[in-house]
């Protein structure tokens, strides 16, 4: 990536993979990071930890309609957002016979509909400027090829996010690279302390996708920088 000034919005940037992604992006020349979290104090604390002129902002993904409005506010405030990392998510345990409809609705809102709202609000301006990168942090548990083997609400919502990734890549065209990534089993509050991978290692592929060159891929699903099946 050139040293052209870019602005990156990272959701769920206050801890775990999101914080690691935000830190890595902030190290890139000419990059400003907008660290988003559900609670503003958490976002501001993350921005202070990240440094490099990062800014913390409030962004609650529970209501996709509100997210659309908030995205437009952020676009007006910052002038442009060149990179979107849809990282924030929720994981509700239980099989399809155990979860409630409310559990599924919450997971779909946070893990799929609100990321779609952000893509829909920010993607067109990226296309108009002729450059944009969107990275959706998904999961192998949302892969049909791997059997949708995770907790039902999580798997269904991540499969939906994968579908939204491919649809948005087709809609936004070649100048805006839209990809999904499986970061692996990561030592976070969601993944647990027994997980095999650090947040920093998990951030590698999302950061790579966020800084792809003009001839980079779009509409794909990646793990460890390698294309995997949906």
Is residue 51 domain-resident? yes
d(CA 9, CA 12) in angstroms, rounded, equals 10
Q: Count up the domains in the chain and report the number.
A: 1
The pLDDT of residue 191 is: 64
For residue 185, pLDDT over 90 is answered with no
55-82, pLDDT tens digit by residue? 999 999 999 999 999 999 999 999 999 9
**Rounded mean pLDDT of 150-169?**
98
Query: Is residue 174 assigned to a domain?
Result: yes
Q: Is the pLDDT of residue 189 over 90?
A: no
Determine the Cα–Cα distance for residues 187 and 194; give it in Å rounded to an integer: 7
Cα(220)–Cα(218) distance, integer angstroms: 6
Look up the CATH number of the domain holding residue 156. Answer: 3.40.50.720
Residue bearing the bigger pLDDT, 116 or 202: 116
Residue 194 has pLDDT above 90, yes or no: no
End-to-end CA distance of the chain: 28
Residue 171 lies in a domain: yes
Task: From the candidates 116, 141, 154, 222, give the one annotated as an active-site residue.
Answer: 154
Which whole-number Å values give the CA distances from 4 to 28, 134, 212, 214, in the listed order? 10, 17, 14, 14
Q: Per the domain annotation, does 99 fall within a domain?
A: yes
Average pLDDT, the chain: 94
* This prediction's pTM: 0.94
Distance CA 182, CA 198 (A): 14
Say what the pLDDT of residue 186 is.
Answer: 60
Of the CA atoms within 13 Å of residue 66, those in its CB half-sphere come to 9
Q: Considering the domain boundaries, does residue 173 fall inside one?
A: yes
Strand order in the sheet with 226-227: 55-58, 31-37, 6-10, 83-86, 132-137, 176-181, 221-223, 226-227
Q: Is 229 a known active-site residue?
A: no
Residue 1 lies in a domain: no
**Residue 94 corresponds to which tokens in the numbers above?**
């239980």
Domain that holds residue 10: 6-227
- Residue 38: CB partners within 8 Å, gap ≥ 6? 58, 59, 60, 61, 88
pLDDT at residue 2 greater than cutoff 70: no
What's the rounded Cα separation, in Å, for the pair 133 and 9? Answer: 11
Element holding 134 (H helix, E strand): strand 132-137
**pLDDT tens profile 37-62:** 999 999 999 999 999 999 999 999 99
pLDDT of residue 198: 83
Helices (H), ranges, the chain: 16-26, 40-50, 64-78, 101-108, 114-129, 152-172, 199-202, 204-210
What would the mean pLDDT of 173-177 be, rounded to a whole number?
98
Strands 6-10 and 31-37: parallel
In the prediction, which pLDDT does 54 show?
97
pLDDT at 99 over 90: yes
- Cα(164)–Cα(139) distance, rounded to whole angstroms? 14
CA distance 36 to 43: 6
């Amino acid at each position: 990536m050139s040293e052209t000034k870019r602005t990156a919005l990272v959701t769920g940037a206050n801890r775990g993979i999101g914080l690691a992604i935000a830190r890595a992006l902030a190290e890139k020349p000419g990059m400003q990071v907008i660290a988003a979290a559900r609670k503003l104090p958490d976002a501001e604390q993350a921005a202070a930890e990240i440094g490099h002129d990062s800014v913390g902002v409030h962004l609650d993904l529970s209501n996709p309609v509100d997210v659309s409005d908030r995205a437009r506010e952020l676009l007006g405030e910052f002038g442009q957002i060149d990179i979107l990392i849809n990282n924030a998510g929720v994981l509700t345990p239980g099989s399809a016979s155990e979860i409630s409809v409310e559990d599924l609705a919450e997971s779909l809102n946070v893990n799929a509909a609100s990321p779609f709202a952000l893509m829909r609000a920010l993607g067109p301006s990226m296309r108009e400027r002729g450059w944009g990168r969107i990275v959706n942090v998904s999961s192998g548990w949302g892969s049909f090829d791997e059997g949708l083997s995770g907790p039902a609400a999580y798997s269904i919502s991540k499969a939906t996010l994968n579908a939204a990734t491919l649809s948005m890549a087709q809609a936004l065209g070649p100048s805006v690279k839209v990809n999904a990534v499986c970061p692996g089993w990561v030592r976070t509050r969601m993944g647990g302390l027994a997980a095999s991978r650090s947040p920093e290692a998990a951030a590698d592929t999302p950061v790579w996708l966020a800084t792809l060159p003009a001839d980079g891929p779009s509409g794909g699903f990646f793990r460890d920088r390698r294309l995997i099946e949906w």
